[in-house]
Amino acid sequence: MKLFLTRPAALVAVLAVCQAAVAGPPLQTEDPEILDQWQWEIITATTLTSTDGGDTWQAPFLDLSLGLIQDSVQVFAAYPYVYVDPDDGDSEWDFGNLETGIKWRFINTERLQVAAGFLYAFGVTRRTAEKGIGDDEDVAVFLLPAQYQLNDKWRINASAGYASVDDGRDEWFYSGAVAYGLNDRWELLFELAGATDNDFEDDLLDVRAGFDFAFTEDFHFLFSAATGLREPDGEDELDYDIFMGLQFFR
């Protein structure tokens, strides 16, 4: 579960709230699956976000998850190193927002899984935020992800939640994803992800496609690319957003 604070403005800041432990990376939609007790998941990734105002890299982005209670609870943390290259200013780089959280799965059947998650993103310094790296306000995120396995090939994931920002720019976010397993190695992914302000006046919507390729059961390559379908008034249009990462289980 990752809160990428890379595109400008509050709505954009929470759109990526759900990018996490699969149908998380490489997507935005969080999944309710839980690691085995004491099992680690490590994701190291590079992302590139390009808008009308410039480019933002996260390289590296490190995401760690650990199963705490078998079949029900896991914890996670994520931390990016961010490089920004605005069209109208100098390039800057620094560490972005540190994120920590916990996920509890309370429904787990053969076809249906549902969980609840909480994530806290710590604000960067004002100086770092002024450089366009992260957000200087702490953000608390409450999330409800669900997954339904249609058959051996098709899976549907959905998640929705609420982000509480220190300065009152609270927002709702939502996303849905479809996964299709080609074979034991390849899984194709498609997603719509959006966010809206607390007054439901400004909203944002992105579309994303990607894949999960398994070299082995414990080592995966993750890729996705997105573009913006709708932006809040006054915000830079998203040209593209690319995620490339390696996922390890141990």
Q: Are 103 and 73 in contact (CB under 8 A)?
A: yes
Q: What is the pTM of this model?
A: 0.89
Q: Are 30 and 23 in contact (CB under 8 A)?
A: yes
Give the tens place of pLDDT for each residue, 71-111: 999 999 999 999 999 888 889 999 999 999 999 999 999 99
Residue type for 137, please? E
Give the tens place of pLDDT for each residue, 140-170: 999 999 999 999 999 999 999 999 987 777 8
On the 0-12 / 13-18 / 19+ scale of CB atoms within 10 A, 104 is middle
Does residue 91 lie in a domain region? yes
Average pLDDT over residues 206-229: 96
Average pLDDT over residues 36-56: 93
Has residue 52 got a pLDDT over 60?
yes
Give the tens place of pLDDT for each residue, 176-212: 999 999 999 999 999 999 988 887 777 889 999 999 9
Does residue 3 lie in a domain region? no
Name every residue whose Cβ is closer than 8 Å to that of residue 246 and which is 6 or more positions away in sequence.
43, 44, 45, 219, 220, 221, 222
Does residue 182 lie in a domain region? yes
Does residue 34 lie in a domain region? yes
Has residue 235 got a pLDDT over 80?
no
Does residue 19 lie in a domain region? yes
For residue 230, what are the domain limits?
10-249
Tell me, what CATH number does 59's domain have?
A: 2.40.160.40
Give the tens place of pLDDT for each residue, 115-126: 999 999 998 898
Does residue 5 lie in a domain region? no
Q: What is the pLDDT of residue 64?
A: 95
pLDDT above 90 covers a percentage of the chain that reads 66
Q: What is the pLDDT of residue 22?
A: 34
Domains identified in the chain, total number: 1
Has residue 4 got a pLDDT over 60?
no
Q: What is the pLDDT of residue 32?
A: 95
Does residue 168 lie in a domain region? yes
Does residue 65 lie in a domain region? yes
Q: What is the pLDDT of residue 10?
A: 42
Q: How far from each other are the two terminal CA atoms of the chain, in whole angstroms?
A: 19
Taking the alpha carbons of 231, 234, 237, 243 in that order, is the dihedral positive or negative?
A: negative
Q: Are 83 and 90 in contact (CB under 8 A)?
A: no
Q: What are phi and psi of 27, to 5 degrees?
A: -100, 180
